[in-house]
Structure 1
């Protein structure tokens, strides 16, 4: 072990005493990774957390002899997670980050790459901790058992990995630089107040301002009483990288069922989110590259025009405006007669507006898709961030309107 220290720290072995502290004679997080790798090459079952827990040479020697003391901390290797395709050094970097979060390796259920939408959302955390933060307020009426409510949430979380997930930085460019660590159990932060809210709007602003960081579990829940003893306000705060809009009603439904049927176990999902992640990571990127290269061949760059010069709208707000008095039933009837979807109709309309504003006959803009069309059973029941953003291209030629809409719809089908 002394020779391993000497090699890693680039010191003479005779300069290292048995009582020396690894981090006080030149060791750091990177050299700790190299030290563990060297120990494992020598046949010692040693981990990154143990280097931090037992930093002295004599302590590490004792731990290496008393192998029975190490059985509580399982030895994880990169081969336990073949879908990550990491080097030894890269995997040790991951273990270091897990330890720095105070997470025991025994808690680690899985380590997964992030899907594309997750990586994109997480990239904004450093510059804006409030970006892509979801806030929901729910009013529950009747006598509320808060302990049972919290336990019901925990029961649902046990079946859905996004509610037990931390994010860490990836040592390579995999999934835009982030990985997700799924824990076997993880307690959600609950704040149970005995005072009503003065203003829900003010609370939302302050809660959003607090935001999230990559170093924390990005779920926070609150319970507030109201002036009516039979009414409580429940506020859920969760980062969009853990949940999409499709998932939220599913989550709330399972939560309420678990609350009202607390004697019954929450059934496991037919398809869980890790299954989706692994399916995507195992798909052939060459096929996608061929499709998008053809689809975007000679596409013209489309700048995003502002509605008004120097206009900056309110962040996180929605503006509703009725322009045409056309019912949804009429829209459905019109699109069905052509054989397209309502979504295609709106995308075509937006493309026409962009084309006129920019004086272009070829426009491309981002389109959010549900991601629920993967060839996986029960995708409609998956709780997790399955959405994705893809380029949507519309070439504004002189074709008849019906034919043009049909071609746009065909392109959407081909994307699937």
Structure 2
């Protein structure tokens, strides 16, 4: 392909939502403050350079707010946490290193868990199987190091009568408890059966007592399985990728200090403290305007006009296949491919629901927050939002896509 020039825009040369996040992270590491909305179709390398010279967007790397343990609360609150809240989940004050607010997403997830039958909503588990070349003891050492190095993996949740849900971070030594000794079996089939049995253990994944638990089961020279329990309040999909990459790095570097292998911890409490201290008034005003007069999409009813069909059980299938190079369309319209997909979804929903005003749920990565090293943060940075598309028959597809992208940029900022 042709070389990228200073008058090219990010999306017209094939940028997508994931590479946009990575670009934001790299710019912030270099001290250049960039937002998702700055990557729109009119933005070029030249225009961003001019903006950097004319606006106050350059700062020393790593100059976003730095947080200290327990600094979210006044002395009275800390005393209440020390006397009642932390002991209420079976911990001593000496065993913890920090207490911080929970994010709105964490509060919602834990609330659903506590209300659910069996108390296991949003408790996830995964069995990973390895071949005979996996050293089970070395695997455990790497996981213990990872837990000791990453504060979110040592986090429990407690209920405060005033604050609601708070995060309680245990000290590094707890890694030996969260990744107990390897359990040995005599055959690969026994390892498989035992891993399945462990995965059904209802003790693990509970937010107040054991949101994380990792059990390794092995038959030496034959097979090893890892059963990983985690409450969703500790992770998102991005986090799992980071954790797997880091434990594999620690496994390969067996015996070396974790900080030299995977770097220092970027605590998820940085994210929760940023969100807790943010002024939400502008965000609320945006959402009030954005969703004004919006109607829910009624997928089951279709058109509300005219008499009901004579046979409610009648079925008809129409098959039509259209091929489209999504990337080419996205480049031509200067939007990421995901925006083309969302617009196609909105159009299909509009036809199905007989409406030109369509709203649907959207999951945001949360990795665009102005928090240092946000890409390395392990924790549930994702957020749910509403995407609204108002379809206009007289509007060109390119204009509609660019309008949708502008809305999505704002949603990412307001999340």
Q: TM-score range by the shorter chain?
A: 0.5 to 0.7
RCO comparison, higher one (Cα < 8 Å, 6+): 2
Secondary structure of the residue that 1:125 maps to in structure 2?
helix
Superposition pairs of residues 207-246 of structure 1, within 5 angstroms: 207=199, 210=202, 212-225=205-218, 229-246=221-238
Aligned partners of 2:242, 2:108: CA distance in 1, in Å?
24
Say which of 268, 273, 284 aligns to 1:278: 273
Where does residue 170 of structure 1 map in the other structure? 160
Higher mean C-alpha displacement, 159-168 vs 230-239: 230-239
Secondary structure of the residue that 2:124 maps to in structure 1?
strand
Shift, 1:366, TM fit: 1.5
Say which of 84, 107, 113 aligns to 2:95: 107
Shift, 1:374, TM fit: 1.1
Where does residue 81 of structure 1 map in the other structure? 70
Counting matched residue pairs gives 317
Contact 1:94 1:171 in 2 (8 A): no
Aligned partners of 1:232, 1:205: CA distance in 2, in Å?
15
Contact 1:218 1:239 in 2 (8 A): yes
Structure 2: where are the runs of 5+ without partners?
Answer: 1-67, 303-318
What TM-score, normalized by structure 1, do the two folds share?
0.67
Higher mean C-alpha displacement, 206-215 vs 182-191: 206-215
1:182 and 1:343, CA in 2 relative to 1: closer, same or farther beyond 3 A? same
Cα deviation per residue 1:38-97 (whole Å; 9 max; x = unaligned)?
Answer: xxxxxxxxxxxxxxxxxxxxxxxxxxxxxxxxxxxxxxxxx9734246965x96267423
Contact 1:168 1:179 in 2 (8 A): yes
1:184 is the counterpart of 2:171: yes
Where does residue 38 of structure 2 map in the other structure? none
Where does residue 317 of structure 1 map in the other structure? none
Contact 2:69 2:99 in 1 (8 A): no
Q: Which has the larger radius of gyration?
A: 1
Say which of 364, 369, 376 aligns to 1:369: 364
Secondary structure of the residue that 1:123 maps to in structure 2?
helix
What TM-score, normalized by structure 2, do the two folds share?
0.67
Aligned partners of 1:257, 1:146: CA distance in 2, in Å?
15
Aligned partners of 1:222, 1:80: CA distance in 2, in Å?
30
Shift, 1:254, TM fit: 1.1
Structure 1: where are the runs of 5+ without partners?
Answer: 1-78, 308-321
1:193 and 1:306, CA in 2 relative to 1: closer, same or farther beyond 3 A? farther
Say which of 123, 129, 139 aligns to 1:133: 123
CA RMSD of superposed structures (Å)? 3.2
Superposition pairs of residues 5-404 of structure 1, within 5 angstroms: 81-84=70-73, 88=77, 92=80, 95-126=83-114, 127-128=116-117, 129-172=119-162, 174=163, 177-185=164-172, 186=174, 187-190=177-180, 192-194=183-185, 196-197=188-189, 207=199, 210=202, 212-225=205-218, 229-267=221-259, 268-269=263-264, 271-303=266-298, 305=300, 326=323, 330-398=325-393, 399-404=395-400
